[in-house]
Amino acid sequence: MEMLEEQRENWGTRGGFVLAAVGSAVGLGNLWGFPYKLYSYGGGAFLVPYIVAMFCIGVPMLILEFSLGHMTQRAAPDAFARVNRRAEFVGWWGIILGFVIITYYPVILAYCFSFMYYSIQSIITGNALPWGGEGAAGVANAKSFFYDAYLGFKEGTELGQIRYNILIPLFVAWIAMYFCIFKGVKFVGKIVWLTVPLPFIMLIVLTIRGLTLPGSMKGLVYYLDPVWSELAKPTTWRFAFGQVFFSLSLAFGVMVTYASFLHRKSDINNNAVIIGVSDFATSFVGGIAIFATLGGMSYATMEAGQAVGVKDVVAGGPGLAFVAFPYALAQLPGAAWWSLIFFFTLVTLGIDSAFSITESVLAGIVDKTGWKRSIVLPAMSLVGLCFGLIYVTEGGLNWLGTVDGFINGTWGIAFLGLLECVVLGWMYRVDTLRHHANERSDWRLGRWWNFSIRIFIPVVLGTLFLWSLFDDVTSVGGFIRTPEGEWIIPNCVGFAVVGIAPVIAILMSLVKSPLRQEHGKQGEFKYPTHPVGLKLGKAAFILSTAGLLLIAWMMKTGNQWPIGVALVFGLIGIAVSNYVLEKHDVGDERPTLLSRWAGIIATLDISAVIAMTLIRMTKTAGDTEAIAETSDKLSGVSYTIIGVVALVVVGGLGWCFYRAITAASKDQQEEPLDTLQID
């Protein structure tokens, strides 16, 4: 243990940590993932759940993960194990999902390397970019270059041949990641000074280019004008919430691990908000750049007499960014140079996210086994690369989209987020984490944060999960099998991937660690039960279980009338168990396990009731109309969204920096290491 303590590295400065965390959060997810999810799932309506989830769930959970990592100074699995010995699997689960991401994320990086290569080629030869062209021909060329010439893309479930033109850059991507990581976190803290600011500059250039294309407004209308009926589809919510987790690197163990390397006295709350707001701002601006370009592309095709709306100008899905951005770049004077710089920045943007996942998997394994980093890292990279072969095939992009959709579309990561909050909120004294964060932060979290982790977030995520589940189960075309009884292969594989993760996670948590025997004896996080609040806890448990049984009965019989009763049982159950935890989880007192379970079951009750109501409302509303694109002027709602976003970003960041500077100047003498470097 002591050895580990000594081995543990530190970020150089506060700026180093903030930039590293921003570097992990801001990545291809912002410029590749966010726009394609928004394009495919709901258009402007996607923004609503996205913003809600970002600030009501993402940021509070970021604080949760930071304080957990910082307090325990361990990578995710060990951090959870210290909180509750049975919870170790939660950490592993995230790491395994992270590992799945690390099999396909570098493939996207490989695309970027390839586009860099083509740009260099065009600079040297003086020829136009291979995807270049103006007007409708340019649009067609951008599409056919990526899908046909580069990917050799085949629809369907077949993998087809391996594409060596993708395999080679994939190799390059892994080697680059390897070199970034093996130098350790100090080095990571340094490179991010380059890899974080550069993309922002490029993004501004592309936004301006996009906005000055004729027709760009139409794209912005698609982006910013919500078609409200899209909110009645669970997929809009599911993918928006999943995207928030992916984008903030939440629940993958990454942020826990990064915070474990943080200096003992560093700020937590303020940093979390800075990171959340920066990540959001990048996605939002990236969205403007992409959708303005899509508007331009749609306009160009229309000029040529083919009326193709923004929704259909390119195929939705994970290829979107690699058609839209290249098109916009080709429209710039000196296109090849811009294109080189842009794809280079995408590489820098993606690479720190990619190595943050690798680092989290690595730290998880090293903290548990005590094996050498220098052996685990190459072995892991090799395995990741081998799995990556699936995606460098002709059908690879389809599978990439499927796996990404499952991992980041509620079934995977948002569900894990739910579990994380339940474990820390109900099975642990979450107030300890709040105090830990508050003690060293520029500003303090109120008690509301406890309720948000314990009640609000679990209920919202639980509702989302059940709503999606009910929707899939009752979906007309079938989800796993068609009505004709045929298996829907991609969905089966997707489910298998997310389903196998918890199994491996539990197995991993059962493996004995040579380094960990002692900390049970330490007693610090030991967990005695005490019969205080016993009766109340019991009552709450009986009530919530009754609510659950009632719900099960309703589902079986199709009877709807007791729904109100189940809700009331759930509400009382959660109120009482929450009261027991708040009142009796102090000092040496511990509430019983029963009162904790009462809260968890009550969460399930309430979520189920809301989900059932939602499914009834949305199914009876019938099919929602397709997103219409009538206008090329932004509506009042769009302007409101822009206003709110500007306020949140500028006001939020301004406030955070103000608090950081005042706090830093206050304890400058005490803690010189902790001073802020903002520029």
| Stated length of the chain | 679
Question: Could you identify the residue written with the tokens 């004294």?
Answer: 429
Tell me the residue number closest to ligand PHE, measured at CB. Answer: 29
Q: Considering the rule CB under 6 A, would residue 417 count as an interface residue with ligand PHE?
A: no
**Nearer to ligand PHE by C-beta: 252 or 426?**
252
CA distances from 619 to 99, 120, 213, 623 (A): 37, 53, 40, 8
Q: Considering the rule CB under 6 A, would residue 181 count as an interface residue with ligand PHE?
A: no
Q: Considering the rule CB under 6 A, would residue 24 count as an interface residue with ligand PHE?
A: yes
Q: Considering the rule CB under 6 A, would residue 353 count as an interface residue with ligand PHE?
A: yes
Q: Out of 28, 285, 335, 501, which residue is the one contacting ligand PHE (CB under 6 A)?
A: 28
Q: How far is the CB of 653 from ligand PHE (least distance, A)?
A: 19
Q: Which span (28-36, 392-400, 500-508, 661-669) binds ligand PHE, by CB under 6 A?
A: 28-36
State the Cα–Cα distance between residues 653 and 649, nearest whole angstrom: 6
Q: Considering the rule CB under 6 A, would residue 428 count as an interface residue with ligand PHE?
A: no
Q: How far is the CB of 280 from ligand PHE (least distance, A)?
A: 11
Contact 317, 37 (CB under 8 A): no
Q: Out of 98, 133, 138, 425, which residue is the one contacting ligand PHE (CB under 6 A)?
A: 98
Q: Considering the rule CB under 6 A, would residue 36 count as an interface residue with ligand PHE?
A: no
Contact 367, 78 (CB under 8 A): yes
Q: Which span (23-31, 373-381, 448-456, 482-490) binds ligand PHE, by CB under 6 A?
A: 23-31
Q: How far is the CB of 526 from ligand PHE (least distance, A)?
A: 31
**Nearer to ligand PHE by C-beta: 109 or 543?**
109
Q: Considering the rule CB under 6 A, would residue 356 count as an interface residue with ligand PHE?
A: yes
- Write the binding mask 357 to 376 for ligand PHE: x where contact by CB under 6 A, - elsewhere: x-------------------
Q: How far is the CB of 419 from ligand PHE (least distance, A)?
A: 17
**Which residues, at least 6 apart from 322, have a Cβ–Cβ distance to it below 8 Å?**
32, 111, 115, 146
Max distance between CA atoms of the chain, in angstroms, equals 81
Q: Considering the rule CB under 6 A, would residue 30 count as an interface residue with ligand PHE?
A: yes
Q: Considering the rule CB under 6 A, would residue 254 count as an interface residue with ligand PHE?
A: yes
Q: Is 98 helix (H, G, I), strand (E, B) or coil?
A: helix
Q: Out of 12, 16, 23, 29, which residue is the one contacting ligand PHE (CB under 6 A)?
A: 29
CA atoms within 13 A of residue 5's CA, in its CB half-sphere = 6
**Which residues, at least 6 apart from 454, have a Cβ–Cβ distance to it below 8 Å?**
421, 425, 426, 430, 578, 581, 599
Minimal CA–CA distance to 626: which of 43, 33, 34, 46?
Answer: 43
Q: Which span (213-221, 248-256, 482-490, 546-554) binds ligand PHE, by CB under 6 A?
A: 248-256
Q: How far is the CB of 251 from ligand PHE (least distance, A)?
A: 9
- Joined tokens for residue 657: 């920096």
Q: Considering the rule CB under 6 A, would residue 247 count as an interface residue with ligand PHE?
A: yes
Contact 63, 449 (CB under 8 A): yes
**Nearer to ligand PHE by C-beta: 289 or 580?**
289
Contact 105, 385 (CB under 8 A): no
Burial call 336-351: b when 16+ CB within 10 Å, e when fewer: bebbbbbbbbbbbbbb
Contact 8, 525 (CB under 8 A): no
Q: Which span (22-30, 52-60, 164-172, 212-220) binds ligand PHE, by CB under 6 A?
A: 22-30
Q: Considering the rule CB under 6 A, would residue 249 count as an interface residue with ligand PHE?
A: yes
Q: How far is the CB of 460 from ligand PHE (least distance, A)?
A: 21
Contact 138, 303 (CB under 8 A): no
Q: Which residues bind ligand PHE (CB under 6 A)?
A: 24-25, 27-30, 98, 101, 246-247, 249, 252, 254, 353, 356-357
